Amino acid sequence: MTATMKQTLTAARAGSKSAFIPFVMAGDPDMATSEKIIIALQQAGADMLELGVPFSDPAADGVTVQRAAERSLNSGATLHGVMELVKKLRSKGVTMPICLFSYLNPVYQLGYENFIKQAQAAGAQGALIVDLPPEEAADYLQATRAHNFETVFLCSPTTSASRLKLVDAASSGFVYYVSREGVTGAQNALPQQLQDKLSALRAGMTNLIAVGFGISTPDQVRQLDGKADGIVVGSALVKLIEENQNDPVETIARSVKKLKNY
């Protein structure tokens, strides 16, 4: 039985730990390899998965994730294909919660109701639609609440207190705290005051908090462990896939074990 995203992060908080959440792009470099990578991620200790839906204009992502979306689209990936991948992963024993990471366009084209029903039928717990702000999400939220589909919205170092309340109210899975301004991508050092900001967010929000954007090394994971309810590592793993096209599975598994066990 797959836990919800909220249950997984609640358990991590109860243990004074952070759930480890890798991000990979579905279909990078192809669907068959994606399947093997994700199975290896769970075996290596991942607690939850953020699964990218490739999009042709991924404006919030840095070049590493943009190139992954390009490779995925070139291999023929579609939103329907991503749903099929999730279904196959469930049939192969993947039990960790799966959060779909998508841009609005493919979701809107399919229709909110259809997207949610298909995602749930496949085995996904929720979604983060990166370019859908809570101020414009009324129809989406109505559909997600009707089907108990978990929502994730973003906040950042520049989010105002009033907007934080909106993000908190709209999110039912967790709130994703972007650790810095700008696009996704690995960084050499964590921003100063990040731990203080996370502490303030956790004190002021009803939701659980995951932190991401730029976290890439075991030492950075160690510094943040227990300071957020979840830690997302994306670009660093996506880069490993890019650099090891012939056989990324073992490389990814080794990297996740190091990140998880720092």
- According to DSSP H, which parts of the chain are helical? 5-14, 31-43, 63-74, 79-91, 104-110, 112-122, 138-147, 161-170, 194-204, 218-224, 235-243, 248-261
Catalytic residue among 61, 150, 168, 229: 61
The DSSP bridge partners found for residue 101 are 52, 128
Q: At 152, is the secondary structure helix, strand, or coil?
A: strand
Q: For residue 248, give every residue at least 6 positions away whose Cβ sits within 8 Å of its Cβ, in sequence order, or none.
A: 29, 33, 37, 240, 241
- According to DSSP H, which parts of 60-148 are helical? 63-74, 79-91, 104-110, 112-122, 138-147
Dihedrals φ, ψ of 200, to 5°? -65, -40
Distance CA 88, CA 123 (A): 9
Pairing of β 174-178 and β 209-212: parallel
Distance CA 212, CA 49 (A): 13
Catalytic site includes residue 50: yes
Helix axes 112-122, 79-91, angle to 10 degrees: 20
Catalytic site includes residue 35: no
Catalytic residue among 28, 50, 150, 168: 50
Q: What amino acid positions are annotated as catalytic residues?
A: 50, 61
